[in-house]
Amino acid sequence: MSASPASAEPPPASGGGAVPRHVAIIMDGNGRWAKARGLPRVAGHRAGAEAARKVLRAAGEAGVECLTLYAFSSENWRRPEAEINDLMGLLRLYIKNELEALHREGIRIKVIGDHSAFAPDVAKLVDTAVARTAGNSRMTLCVALNYGSRAEIVRAVQRLASEAMVPEAIDEAAIDRALDTADLPPLDLLIRTSGEHRLSNFLLWQAAYAELLFTDTLWPDFDGEALRAALADFAGRERRFGGL
């Protein structure tokens, strides 16, 4: 099932058993999960990577077209250098271990954000994964790397300005086309784990009409069953998009 471009207009009202085309997750709680078990933070990140694998599988089985994961924000550079190095090591390991399996399963890997800021070998691995899976169409795994939504919107405006568009021609559809997510379906459901209730500079524009779901479950404990529960919750909601 291939993803179709986003639209500035909200999608038709849905619910009553509908499966969201595009689900995004703020994967929060790895550190607290590890601390509760007396483990180093990197152990929480490793468990979080396994949770991502389970959730991706469940999303594909449910018919979700695109799963977007907030893997590394532009604010994460403020973390200790040792933790950043651990995260980069996990990213290397995940790509090397999972790339061919994802390719065989028809999953396209897309990256939003500016991963060129990573170490050259990591950036190259990411580029290789994107190129290797570019022709796949069963599902899209979108990974936000060095991503911040405000910076994305600034880049979009800069792109439009570089095209010398007259102000009157810049509308919502034009901005949509200039965003990193231009080729993805509209965002239907945004989930945040670990009990926090904020978007943390993630998909601010795209979330305008998304359903939001906040859960106390720490990310390493969020699995296929938890995702299916979230999809069931979504299916029971009535989405009016400002209408009656």
Active site residues: 28, 76
92 is in an annotated binding site: no
Which residues neighbour 53 within 8 Å (Cβ) at sequence distance 6 or greater?
A: 98
Which residues neighbour 153 within 8 Å (Cβ) at sequence distance 6 or greater?
A: 175, 179, 204, 205
74 is in an annotated binding site: yes
105 is in an annotated binding site: no
171 is in an annotated binding site: no
Which residues neighbour 98 within 8 Å (Cβ) at sequence distance 6 or greater?
A: 53
Query: How far is 118 from 131, CA to CA, in rounded Å?
Result: 18
116 is in an annotated binding site: no
148 is in an annotated binding site: no
159 is in an annotated binding site: no
Which residues neighbour 78 within 8 Å (Cβ) at sequence distance 6 or greater?
A: none
Summarize the annotated binding site for substrate as residue ranges: 29-33, 41, 45, 73-75, 77, 79, 192, 198-200
Q: Which residues are annotated as a binding site for Mg(2+)?
A: 28, 211
Known binding residues are 28-33, 41, 45, 73-75, 77, 79, 192, 198-200, 211
